[in-house]
A and B are shown apart, each in its own frame.
Chain A
């Protein structure tokens, strides 16, 4: 049964389709011309995995802190969402788990091909910036334990019931 592959992280390692490669090259070019403020793409020769440095915005709880995002693109990007996680140590935030998984609707159900790596980054920094307390989600321990065997955040059914933070 092929069902599992459509959800598992192995799928992400499948080679990019021609359309995906083409689109990502254009995104990368646009990023280089016009990178979102506070983000730096670390140059590698891997188009399918981007490592992005994030600087906490000045005047927020994360000012002067630097984090790393890992963005993996699936074969059928942009029809399918990229997988975006923080490389631990992840920011202390009520929507970010200690293994780096991020609870943000646009990374899962609300993804649209109209979005870009750049717009996802802006959403993530705005999520960080609006945080009023540095703490982990209440279920952090349980969730992270559950992900031990390398589960992708895309295999989680997320509940989004707080859009204030």
Chain B
């Protein structure tokens, strides 16, 4: 255990100086933590300016343009996707992209469908999640603000009450950190609670993924903001809320079917556990998330 500073320090240089320092000096050991962190935060801010948490709708052709000089299989797959999807939205690759895409897609689905029964069903499951966290020993004050904020958003996309919001307002809220991050954190609580509650079920998957205990995995890979999601997170969230999720993979694998290209997808379908309400499930296509995830991975 040591901190990561490498040099004895002169009075700190100003934040704006870091990029000049980088130009002038290429001995890695001479960079100070503060410089590196300022550079990281500057990159983050540039990213933030370029990519909102949730982007505007874009036609699939914009994706096509991006991969124009890339693999022909990708281009073919984008064409296939174009038949199924009218548009994509990108989400910022900040490690919260799965949860954020899910938030937007789900709330948008409710706003467009005005499906009261679905809202009631999900609210019942949210209350079960609350109970799960309480049973696991979480103090109410740690999660209740996040729960209320999500429930408020859920109410507000239903039309005809004082708090109702428009589609434009939903987009704005998804981009507003003080709403968006709280909803992401709500999903992280729900996911962690579900994994811990069914730790025997999730244990082998977690061992395969990270070689840690369930407890450690939840503490380090689910509950902190900015930690990437994997199959385990998606399965747990889908089961806890009882909402089906389809993930479409835009990868280079060729999967010709009868001479044509098809696109891989994985459906996460909730398994009703101890009396959780099954009932109507809503399909969410998280293509936007996958797109972001792909770019991060490459």
Residues of A within 8 A of B (CB): 1-4, 6-7, 19, 22-23, 26-27, 30, 78-79, 94-95, 97, 101, 103, 109-116, 137-139, 142-143, 145-146, 148-149, 151, 155-162, 165
Partner of B3, one of A2, A19, A116, A157: A157
Contact between A110 and B41, CB atoms less than 8 A apart: no
In the assembled complex, how far is the CB of residue B219 from the closest CB belonging to chain A, in whole angstroms? 7
Complex CA distance for A30 and B140, rounded to whole angstroms = 10
Determine the residue in chain B with the shortest Cβ distance to A26: B141
Complex CA distance for A22 and B16, rounded to whole angstroms = 36
Partner of B1, one of A19, A27, A165: A165
Residues in B whose Cβ lies below 8 Å from that of A78: 142
- With A7-B41, A23-B145, A79-B181 already in contact, the answer to whether A139 and B224 are too (CB < 8 A) is no
Residues in A whose Cβ lies below 8 Å from that of B12: 149, 151
Complex CA distance for A19 and B220, rounded to whole angstroms = 24
Across the A-B interface, give the 6 residue pairs with the lowest CB-CB distance, nearest first: A112-B223, A26-B141, A4-B15, A112-B224, A146-B9, A114-B223
Residues in B whose Cβ lies below 8 Å from that of A114: 138, 142-143, 188-189, 192, 223
Hey, what's the 0/1 contact readout for B1-41 against A, CB within 8 Å counting as 1?
11111001101101110000000000000001110111001
Residues in A whose Cβ lies below 8 Å from that of B139: 30, 116
Contact between B141 and A27, CB atoms less than 8 A apart: yes
B122 within 8 A of A: no
Complex CA distance for A143 and B146, rounded to whole angstroms = 37
- With A79-B185, A151-B12, A157-B37 already in contact, the answer to whether A113 and B5 are too (CB < 8 A) is no
B225 within 8 A of A: yes
Complex CA distance for A79 and B145, rounded to whole angstroms = 11
Contact between B192 and A145, CB atoms less than 8 A apart: no
B45 within 8 A of A: yes
Partner of B185, one of A1, A4, A113: A113
Partner of A159, one of B1, B14, B16, B145: B1
